Amino acid sequence: MARQGATRTGEHDVVPNRAAAWLWLSILAGILAVAGSVIALTADSIYSGLTSAFLPEALAQDVANLALASPALLILAALALRGSLRAYLLWLGVLTFTVYNYVIYAFSIPFGPLFLLWVAVLGLCIYALIGGVAAVDHVTVAERFASRRAVTVVAWFLIVTAALFGVLWLSQDVPALLAGTRPQSLVDMGSPTNPVHVLDLGFFLPAVIATGVLLLRRIPLAYTLAPMMIVFLMLTGVPILITPVVQTARGETAAWGVVLPIGTLTVISLGMLVWLLSTMRSPESPGAVPEVSE
């Protein structure tokens, strides 16, 4: 008989029925996120309280949400509901990216008409992410990855990339703290602290490094988290790449200097993701987890 509690179609041995509630929760979040981004991009009053430096970044984030992140969240959730493990792992990554950005929306954008919508998307995605990770049989997921080389390279990629970003942020924050001043980025944003630095240094970058370390140690949980973290790193580059385009469209001086390094990292992240997922066995492949348990 088929494994109890598993989805009946596709890669059903690793996407259990108990994950369906979290997938549907994310679909609701995705719909709300689309509505919020449309409103923010069409109503000038939403970001009227932002500085001239922060405004293009907020608009770029909405473009990224509307064109990529929210549609990906909806499509991947639908595919995961049909039993696709690859879609499920990618879905977790888009959820992570969404949580990250809606923390910034909720805490950094001045209170306004979309506040409750942003909080709703944030809450739905946090619960979906926690529930989605908890619903997976991580041992079964780990057994689906066939290439030790790909796993090792991805692990070091996660560790090195997160460490470099940590050094970059600290190179801005530590000198300012020693000098008793505020980093110029805070002055430009008109913000008391930099939410990206808070989130990255306090949680996300340590989580990426920990995932890489656990992956080197072949801990099953890391096999679920690794694609998720790569998607997160890849998607964080998209709004940065869109920001100079927004600045140019608004007739402002565009920061094109970020395009080469961030674009390169985004492309490498995509390559790592494709390589890692391409090494996954199907349930019927030799050495893969069998489709029946009894």
Q: What is the DSSP string of the chain?
A: -BPTTB-SSSSTTTSBGGGHHHHHHHHHHHHHHHHHHHHHHH-GGGGTTS-TTHHHHHHHHHHHIIIIIHHHHHHHHHHHHTT-HHHHHHHHHHHHHHHHHHHHHHHHSPS-TTHHHHHHHHHHHHHHHHHHHHTS-HHHHHHTB--HHHHHHHHHHHHHHHHHHHHHHHHHHHHHHHHT---HHHHHHT-SS-HHHHHIIIIIHHHHHHHHHHHHTT-HHHHHHHHHHHHHHHHHHHHHHHHHHHHHHTTSPP-GGGHHHHHHHHHHHHHHHHHHHHTBPPTTSTTSPPSB--
Q: What phi and psi values does residue 220 have, to the nearest 5 degrees? A: -55, -40
Window from 61-70, 142-151, 176-185, 207-216 with minimum mean pLDDT: 176-185
Q: Is the pLDDT of residue 12 over 70?
A: no
- Tell me if 134 is assigned to some domain: yes
Q: Is the pLDDT of residue 206 over 60?
A: yes
Q: Is the Cβ–Cβ distance between 235 and 96 less than 8 Å? A: no
Residue 284: per-residue pLDDT: 54
Residue 283: per-residue pLDDT: 65
Q: What share of the chain has pLDDT > 70, as a percent?
A: 90
Query: Domain total for the chain?
Result: 1
- Tell me if 10 is assigned to some domain: no
Close Cβ partners of 246 (under 8 Å, ≥ 6 residues apart): 56, 59, 60, 63
What's the whole-number mean pLDDT along residues 149-175?
94
- Tell me if 54 is assigned to some domain: yes
Q: Is the pLDDT of residue 193 over 90?
A: no
Q: What is the mean pLDDT of the chain?
A: 87
| Of 94-103, 178-187, 191-200, highest mean pLDDT | 94-103
Indicate the length of the chain as a whole number: 294
- Band the pLDDT of 162: cuts 50, 70, 90: very high
Q: What phi and psi values does residue 91 have, to the nearest 5 degrees? A: -60, -40
Residue 15: per-residue pLDDT: 66
- Tell me if 6 is assigned to some domain: no
Q: Could you give the CA distance from residue 133 to residue 92 in angstroms, rounded to a whole number?
A: 8
The residue ranking higher by pLDDT, 182 or 5, is: 182
Q: Is the pLDDT of residue 211 over 90?
A: yes
- Band the pLDDT of 194: cuts 50, 70, 90: confident
- Tell me if 3 is assigned to some domain: no
What's the whole-number mean pLDDT along residues 96-124?
94
What's the whole-number mean pLDDT along residues 210-237?
95
- Name the one residue in this structure whose structure tokens are 């029925």: 17
Q: Is the pLDDT of residue 2 over 90?
A: no
Residue 53: per-residue pLDDT: 84
Q: Could you give the CA distance from residue 7 to residue 18 in angstroms, rounded to a whole number?
A: 9
Domain that holds residue 261: 17-278
- Tell me if 52 is assigned to some domain: yes
- Tell me if 288 is assigned to some domain: no
- CB-based burial of residue 157 (10 Å sphere; 0-12 exposed, 13-18 middle, 19+ buried)? buried
Q: Is the pLDDT of residue 87 over 90?
A: yes
Q: Is the Cβ–Cβ distance between 273 and 150 less than 8 Å? A: no
Whether the full predicted model's pTM is greater than 0.85, yes or no, is yes
Query: Of the candidates 145, 271, 289, 290, which has an alpha carbon nearest to the alpha carbon of residue 215?
Result: 145
- CB-based burial of residue 212 (10 Å sphere; 0-12 exposed, 13-18 middle, 19+ buried)? buried
- Residues paired with 6 in a beta bridge: 16
- Tell me if 81 is assigned to some domain: yes
Residue 36: per-residue pLDDT: 95
What's the whole-number mean pLDDT along residues 108-135?
94
Tell me: the pLDDT tens digits for 19-57? Answer: 899 999 999 999 999 999 999 999 988 998 888 888 999
Residue 287: per-residue pLDDT: 40
Residue 205: per-residue pLDDT: 95
Residue 271: per-residue pLDDT: 95
- Band the pLDDT of 224: cuts 50, 70, 90: very high
